[in-house]
Structure 1
Amino acid sequence: MDPEPQGGFRVRSATPEAFAVAKGWARDEGWNPGIADLEAFFAADTSGFLLGYANDRPVSSISVVKYGETQGFLGFYIVHPDARGKGFGMATWSAGMAYLGKRTVGLDGVVAQQENYTKSGFQLVGRNIRFTGVPIPTELPGSAVTVEAALDQHAGQIETLDRVCFGSPRPGFLKAWIYAASEAGRKTLVAFDSGALSGYATIRKCVEGYKIGPLFAQTRHAAEALLKACCAEAERGASITLDVPETNNQAMGMAQSAGLTPVFETARMYRGSAPELPWASIYGVTSFELG
């Protein structure tokens, strides 16, 4: 059990500017954050990003984002290596869970910590597999699927599909995530099948290469078309990362066919009643930090 934190330790809600230190810790841990994630992340919940300070120096972080009236998601749970073993992590965790209250809480945790999360009331519902690599150019079979850049006029249809696949409304986040300025390094594409929106995906530039997330699609044809179009937005020869729910066999096969290789996995866990998600339509989760 961790000791009680030493005197002078406080957990406070952070601004995007202050929380940039946690993004740096995530980079150092090899989590490869997006170059401009924080603006959109804070649009999801401006009060849901906490820093722990020891004698006014930031030493720990956690994100505890509220979605709707009943859901929440936990991420960015980090203690700086120089400050570990002093009780700061558990105190930060407790502050984050207190902020979320009685909500159902999800997280994507490293498998090694699964037992600890279970002790805090979390239950495993599945695993996400991170695939990374330089994609192989592919020719797709003919279909009625077309892909184009997301525009304001698509917002309602995207939000409807996202709410089904994510399990909670998140309009503020979606607006910031999808309709970002070019310097944010993100682009969102939508797929149409016979005139109806059948999927959407966002590709974003990261510290190393690019990540695609979310990738939500109603059919594998739509998912493959979106994956190919997203990869075409990346710099030539750059690595692509896609975080795939293990339960979606079509998505696992798609990632492997694209030449991507599994590099690690996370445990998707929930405290409370896990939302019933259409995993067959989830080809890539949005992010391990926000769900």
Structure 2
Amino acid sequence: MTKVREDSSQHLRAPLSVTSAEEAAFSVGIATLQEWRTVEEWGNAEGWNVGHQDASCFHGIDPQGFFVGRLGNRLVSAVSLVNHSDKYAFWGSYVVNPEFRGQGYGRKTCKAAKSHSGRRVVGSDAMPDLVSGYSRSGASPAHETVHYVGRPERATHAPAGVVPIGPDHLNAIAEYDSGCFPAYRRDFLARWLWADGHIARTRLVNGRIAGYGVIRPAPVGHRIGPLFADTPQDAEALFDALIAHVQPDEEVSLYMPDLTGSASTFFNDRGLTEQFRVVRMYEGGTPRIRADHVFAVTSLEVG
């Protein structure tokens, strides 16, 4: 799971002292949607740049999969372990309120959440320096994922065969998506594709879906995810259609799996640059998907 370390040096403020009574009162429970919006505010303070509608869309996947640690009525820690299906789950959004770091609340929250996934395969994204720790917990590295950010250059012509996704496309999009993601997630896509501010496009070749993508507003610019396509050419057409709706001075970011050890030059050529990498890891086996169709994951929070 992507995380902010409890001893993060980004915050120089000393942890609050906690009384023994407060320590005894620490508990882990299910987060409400409003509480999860607070967690996303913590994440955005760390540079996560969570999309404006992410909480509403993600929370509906598995409302029981969002956990917060509380001292009385104060939120101090959080993690998500979202069950996408009866076979696949995903860790994300591991963060501790800066005022309470270094006191073990994050680890306790994860320990309480862990049983939620049952016997499912569990995915996560780890910062490179944390891979060994995740491995000791039973997860195995699968590949790196590259975070690209920049102000992309516009195409000189409108891409052919790219159309807005309408309700009549939903079933076909869900089927296509299930080949690129380890679960069938039609209900999630029904929220994600048409959430406020989201722009969703599909590429049609001879009347058949050859890919789709979504771009959404965030505190800083826009984020693309997912971007799934049959070929790099299809992905390029979708990318061009999505960024056509972004102002030239606005940033665009995405997370692309680097499955060959040499990330695609396409995003570099279009003005995006690599910011950092995370390592995708799985516990319980590696899901079988059309990995060469994945040009951007949905998010690091839910996979």
* TM-score range for the pair, normalised by the shorter chain length: over 0.9
Pick aligned residue for 2:31 from 8, 11, 14 = 14
The corresponding residue for 2:10 is none
One-letter amino acid of the counterpart of residue 212, structure 1: I
Runs of 4+ aligned structure 1 residues displaced above 4 Å come to: 248-251
Code of the aligned partner of 1:241: S
Q: Does 1:173 align with 2:173?
A: no
Alignment of 1:107-256 (within 5 A): 107-139=124-156, 145-180=160-195, 184-247=196-259, 252-256=264-268
Tell me, yes or no, if the aligned pair for 1:11 and 1:53 is still in contact at 8 Å: yes
Which residue of structure 1 lines up, in the alignment, with residue 113 of structure 2? Answer: 96
Separation in 2 of the partners of 1:272 and 1:117?
13
Mapped contact 1:248–1:280 kept (Cα < 8 A)? no
Farther off after superposition, 261-270 or 164-173: 164-173
TM-aligned CA deviation for residue 235 of structure 1: 2.2
Contact 1:245 1:285 in 2 (8 A): yes
Task: Structure 2: state its 5+ residue gaps.
Answer: 1-5, 7-21
Please, which moves more after superposition, 249-258 or 82-91?
249-258
In structure 1, which of residues 55, 76, 80 is the aligned counterpart of residue 72 of structure 2? Answer: 55
SS in 1 for 2:69: strand
For residues 96 and 77 of structure 1, the distance between their equivalents in structure 2, rounded to whole angstroms, comes to 11
Q: 2:174, 2:186 within 8 Å by CA — same for their partners in 1?
A: yes
Amino acid at match of 1:155: L
2 CA distance for matches of 1:74 and 1:193? 35
Helix, strand or coil at the partner of 1:273 = coil
Structure 1, unaligned runs of 5 or more: none
Aligned equivalents of 2:150 and 2:228: distance in 1?
A: 20
Amino acid at match of 1:171: R
CA 1:224/1:250 → structure 2, altered by over 3 Å: closer, same or farther? farther
One-letter amino acid matched to 2:214:
T
Q: Distance in 2 between matches of 1:231 and 1:88?
A: 40
Name the CA distance, whole Å, in 1 between partners of 2:264 and 2:302.
21
Distance apart, 1:20 and its partner CA:
1.1
Whether the 8 Å contact between 1:212 and 1:241 is mirrored in structure 2 is yes
Q: Distance in 2 between matches of 1:242 and 1:147?
A: 20
| Equivalent position amino acid for 1:95 in 2 | A
- Any idea what SS the aligned residue of 2:64 has? coil
How much identity, in percent, do the aligned residues show? 32
What TM-score, normalized to structure 2?
0.89
CA distance in 1 between counterparts of 2:84 and 2:170 reads 18
In the alignment, is the contact (CA less than 8 A) between 1:73 and 1:106 conserved in 2? yes
Distance 1:279 1:250, change over 3 A: farther
Superposed CA deviations along residues 45-66 of structure 1, whole A, max 9, x for unmatched, are 1111111102321010111110
The partner residue of 1:69 within 86, 97, 103 is 86
The Cα offsets for residues 67-111 of structure 1, whole Å up to 9 and x where unpaired, read as 111110010011112211211111111122111122111011222
- TM-score using structure 1 length: 0.93
- 1:128-157, CA deviations, whole angstroms, 9 ceiling, x for partnerless residues? 0000000012347x98x4111100010111
Mapped to 2, the partners of 1:249 and 1:99 lie a distance apart of 33
User: Over aligned residues, Cα RMSD in angstroms?
Assistant: 1.9
